[in-house]
Amino acid sequence: MALLEVDNLQVEFATDRGIARAIDGVSFEVNEGETLGIVGESGCGKSVTSLSIMGLIPRPPGRIAGGEIRFAGENLTRLPEKAYRKLRGSDISMIFQEPMTALNPVFTIGNQISDVLRRHKGLSRKQARARGIEMLAEVGIPAPEKRIDEYPHQLSGGMRQRVMIAMALSCDPKLLIADEPTTALDVTIQAQVLELIKKLAADHGTAVILITHDLGVVAETCDRAAVMYCGKIIEQGPVDALFEYPRHPYTAGLLASVPRIRPDRLPRLPTIPGIVPDLLDLPRGCRFRDRCGQALERCGQFDPELNADNDAATVAACFNPNPVVTA
Amino acid sequence: MSTPLLRVRGLTKHFPVKGGVLRRTVAQVKAVDGVSFDIERGKTLGLVGESGCGKSTLGRAILRLHEPTEGEVFLEETDVTAASGSELKRLRRNMQIIFQDPFASLSPRRTVFETLREPLDVHRIGTPAERRKKVEELLEVVGLRRAVLHRYPHEFSGGQRQRVGIARALALNPKFIVADEAVSALDVSVQSQVLNLIDDLQSEFGISFLFISHDLAVVQHISHQVGVMYLGKLVETASAGDLYADPKHPYTQALMSAIPVPDPKAGSERIVLSGDVPSPMNPPSGCPFHTRCPAAMPHCSTIEPRMQNLGSEAQPHWVSCHLYGDTPQADNSAD
Ligand SMILES: Nc1ncnc2c1ncn2[C@@H]1O[C@H](COP(=O)(O)OP(=O)(O)OP(=O)(O)O)[C@@H](O)[C@H]1O
Ligand SMILES: Nc1ncnc2c1ncn2[C@@H]1O[C@H](COP(=O)(O)OP(=O)(O)OP(=O)(O)O)[C@@H](O)[C@H]1O
Ligand code: SF4
Ligand code: SF4
Ligand SMILES: [Mg+2]
Ligand SMILES: [Mg+2]
């Protein structure tokens, strides 16, 4: 049994124009000590997936319309709020994209870390402070015994993100969800933070879900990845195979359009024509059909399911996937 | 050789920092500090560097959206920094900017048509019928359908809004455009569409660009020349080919190695810099990078390196770092 099993998850939001199904039958697993990347373009449902696991979907307008989220075997979609609150910050922790919104500006860093430790670990004030300083040191904050008494605005963006990581890890969670943890950071600082997440996950055996739209970050940090499009996972598998032999045309298109440093300048960047369809006005059949260069007749009639092909290392939801390449 | 379209010489922009009850100036942020470069006609200079290093300030100071503290800017033969009145208005037609956030830079209460017609109205170009025709042409150039003419910004996707922003910048047939993180907020598939568009426009209309971005791969793709900025100063400039094949400055090398590549087999030998970017209010003495530089030598903290050309006259490669050229003498460091 995997630590986390998301099984046919469906999440809906009520909007002025109707019910938007933001997540439509998403399934994946994360094992202990494993790092799963979730990638996809803006609005495809990455954050809604992670908020569902955290039990933080705003209700209304949102609701989990179907499926199960099992953590260590227990179905979280039925968990009462009180039990959920206990789970969050102890067994499951989350790091958000913008650390400034997650840190409280009127309390010192020390207050905020101690608070978590006292609530979830039952430490005394003094113990919590000592442990807080240790945590700050572990995430590489210089002079932690001084920094602990500072307010969030006194820290740089990179340091704030480290503080968030320290807080998220302070209770030794079994599962860490990091939603775009480095998007707001510069590349050199991003490199520091990713190293840190990798190292901590390895040292503590934590399972990590890393959500990002940056395929480069996934390639360097994750064991497996799931690619989302319009509320569905359209391909998933081990990172090596997924990046080298993408089977779904969207995965292939996405990988090709990432600008990368190359010895010779390409005259034109490869693109995916068209735009993502509106959730409230989805095309019939495959959601990628309007933009797909290899669509077949039945792509307009039926919705492809994630399908394992015996020879392929990844599973793709596509009627006409790229051929399996065996190395 | 023909004169470059844009010449920037010693451009400097300091922002006063006010403090205390009397709101007196207590310090200066040296956002841009003595920057010089040229941009040729129809070419793109890419500008990279970390957040807060002064990229946007430099772009705005060139357009005089910020008044420069010191230095000169020439567009062809005209001294931009000295221009005023009708001359400045004429210059502004020729120099445009595209912003990062297409949402924030478009008025929510104006339709696309109104947004695109405004610069034509302001500069009294053509009759109303001609203006309408021009707006329709602009839409076509940036690949938007005529049906969007009477829609508002919130009805568009990010990529479409950015196309409107580009169309607006093109309305007055400018010679020079500052693109400030123009594609940074876009998803990769949309980003590549917009980058190709910028490329096409450059070939068609011969526009010169200052292309600001923190994404080194995007900059490599779009630029002919590239400049690397650190704490308000250019530390390296070269042709895109030379800079990426053979980065000289330790900061450029660290930046390049920090880029995550979408290839799990790439096996990165990463230079992870320690420490944060120092404050531009109080930049380090000597070489501004010495507090984070893995190659720093004792004299780096006291003597500021100067730009030197490690390339040729025809293909210059400018670097300011003590690792290259002669060991500096303490007495020739002060200007
Ligand atoms: N509170 C809400 N009310 C209505 N719709 C919502 C709400 N939250 C999310 N959605 C919709 O759900 C879909 C998925 O959103 P989500 O935030 O998960 O995207 P994402 O993949 O995280 O994108 P990004 O990369 O921009 O963060 C979007 O269409 C979004 O508009
Ligand atoms: N109007 C202003 N008043 C005071 N300081 C300013 C002003 N504008 C910018 N600065 C400061 O000047 C420095 C350079 O800022 P600038 O916005 O040019 O950086 P940047 O390289 O564009 O960064 P980013 O990549 O985050 O956009 C920063 O320290 C910034 O805080
Ligand atoms: S199912 Fe058909 S339309 Fe969809 S991605 Fe595959 S080939 Fe393209
Ligand atoms: S001058 Fe010294 S500190 Fe500055 S980049 Fe060169 S080696 Fe590093
Ligand atoms: Mg999100
Ligand atoms: Mg900027």
- pTM confidence score: 0.86
Task: Tell how far the Cα of B24 is from the centroid of ligand 2, in angstroms.
Answer: 20
**What chain A residue is nearest to B157 in terms of C-alpha separation?**
A275
Question: Using one digit for the tens of pLDDT, what is the confidence trace for B71-99?
Answer: 999 999 999 999 998 999 899 899 999 98
A173 pLDDT above the threshold of 50: yes
Task: Tell how far the Cα of A154 is from the centroid of ligand 2, in angstroms.
Answer: 17
Amino acid at A265: R
- Identify the pLDDT of residue B146: 82
Q: Report residue A326's pLDDT band, with 50, 70 and 90 as the boundaries.
A: low
d(CA A322, CA A312): 10
Q: Would you call B245 and A275 a contact, using CB atoms and an 8 Å cutoff?
A: no
Task: Identify which of A178-192, B90-104, B172-186, B219-233 has the greatest average pLDDT.
Answer: B219-233
In Å, how far is B201's CA from the nearest CA of chain A?
Answer: 13
Q: Is B293 in the pocket of ligand 4 (CB under 6 A)?
A: yes
- C-beta of residue B269 within 8 angstroms of C-beta of residue A191: no
Q: Would you call A41 and B189 a contact, using CB atoms and an 8 Å cutoff?
A: yes
Percent of chain B residues topping a pLDDT of 90: 60
d(CA B229, CA B244): 15
Task: Tell how far the Cα of A241 is from the centroid of ligand 3, in angstroms.
Answer: 20
Question: Using one digit for the tens of pLDDT, what is the confidence trace for A48-78?
Answer: 999 999 999 998 999 999 999 999 999 999 9
**What chain A residue is nearest to B292 in terms of C-alpha separation?**
A188
Q: Whose CA is nearest to atom 18 of ligand 2?
A: B54
Q: Report residue A34's pLDDT band, with 50, 70 and 90 as the boundaries.
A: very high
- C-beta of residue B222 within 8 angstroms of C-beta of residue B194: no
Identity of the residue in B159, B188, B244 whose CB atom sits nearest the CB atom of A257: B188
Please state which of the ranges A255-259, A286-290, A297-301 shows the lowest mean pLDDT. A255-259
Please return the burial class of B254, using the count of CB atoms within 10 Å of its CB with bins 0-12, 13-18 and 19+. buried
Q: Is A246 in the pocket of ligand 3 (CB under 6 A)?
A: no
Question: Using one digit for the tens of pLDDT, what is the confidence trace for B211-243?
Answer: 999 888 999 999 999 999 999 999 999 999 999
Q: Would you call B273 and A158 a contact, using CB atoms and an 8 Å cutoff?
A: no
Q: Report residue B335's pLDDT band, with 50, 70 and 90 as the boundaries.
A: very low
Q: Would you call B157 and A276 a contact, using CB atoms and an 8 Å cutoff?
A: yes
d(CA B49, CA B226): 11
- Identify the pLDDT of residue A99: 63
Structure tokens at A298: 């039945």
Q: Which residues of B touch A241 (CB under 8 A)?
A: none
Q: Would you call A259 and B221 a contact, using CB atoms and an 8 Å cutoff?
A: yes
Task: Tell how far the Cα of A105 is from the centroid of ligand 6, in angstroms.
Answer: 24
- C-beta of residue A12 within 8 angstroms of C-beta of residue A63: yes
- Identify the pLDDT of residue B1: 54
Mutation target to probe the A interface, by most A beta carbons within 10 A, among B189, B239, B244 is B189
Task: Tell how far the Cα of A150 is from the centroid of ligand 5, in angstroms.
Answer: 29
Q: Report residue B102's pLDDT band, with 50, 70 and 90 as the boundaries.
A: low
Amino acid at B286: G
Q: Is B325 in the pocket of ligand 4 (CB under 6 A)?
A: no
**What chain B residue is nearest to A191 in terms of C-alpha separation?**
B258
Q: Would you call B193 and A271 a contact, using CB atoms and an 8 Å cutoff?
A: yes
- Identify the pLDDT of residue B334: 41
Q: Which residues of B touch A192 (CB under 8 A)?
A: 272-274
Helix (H), strand (E), coil (C) string for chain A: CCCEEEEEEEEEEEECCEEEEEEEEEEEEECCCCEEEEECCCCCCHHHHHHHHHCCCCCCCEEEEEEEEEECCEEHHHCCHHHHHHHECCCEEEECCCHHHHCCCCCCHHHHHHHHHHHHHCCCHHHHHHHHHHHHHHCCCCCHHHHCCCCHHHCCHHHHHHHHHHHHHCCCCCEEEEECCCCCCCHHHHHHHHHHHHHHHHHHCCEEEEEECCHHHHHHHCCEEEEEECCEEEEEEEHHHHHHCCCCHHHHHHHHHCCCCCCCCCCCCCCCCCCCCCHHHCCCCCCCHHHCCCCCHHHHCCCCCCEECCCCCCEECCCCCCCCCCC
Q: Whose CA is nearest to atom 3 of ligand 4?
A: B290
Identity of the residue in A216, A240, A275 whose CB atom sits nearest the CB atom of B157: A275
Neighbouring residues of A97: CB distance < 8 A, sequence distance ≥ 6: A179, A180, A181, A183, A184
**What chain B residue is nearest to A194 in terms of C-alpha separation?**
B260
Among A271, A285, A277, residue whose Cα is nearest residue A229: A277
> Which residue in this structure is represented by tokens 């015994």?
A145
Per-residue pLDDT averaged across B29-38, rounded? 94
Neighbouring residues of A78: CB distance < 8 A, sequence distance ≥ 6: none
Q: How far apart are the first and last CA of chain B?
A: 31
A101 pLDDT above the threshold of 80: no
d(CA B185, CA B99): 10
Mutation target to probe the A interface, by most A beta carbons within 10 A, among B214, B263, B273 is B263
Q: Whose CA is nearest to atom 11 of ligand 2?
A: B31
- Identify the pLDDT of residue B100: 76
Task: Tell how far the Cα of A82 is from the centroid of ligand 1, in angstroms.
Answer: 26
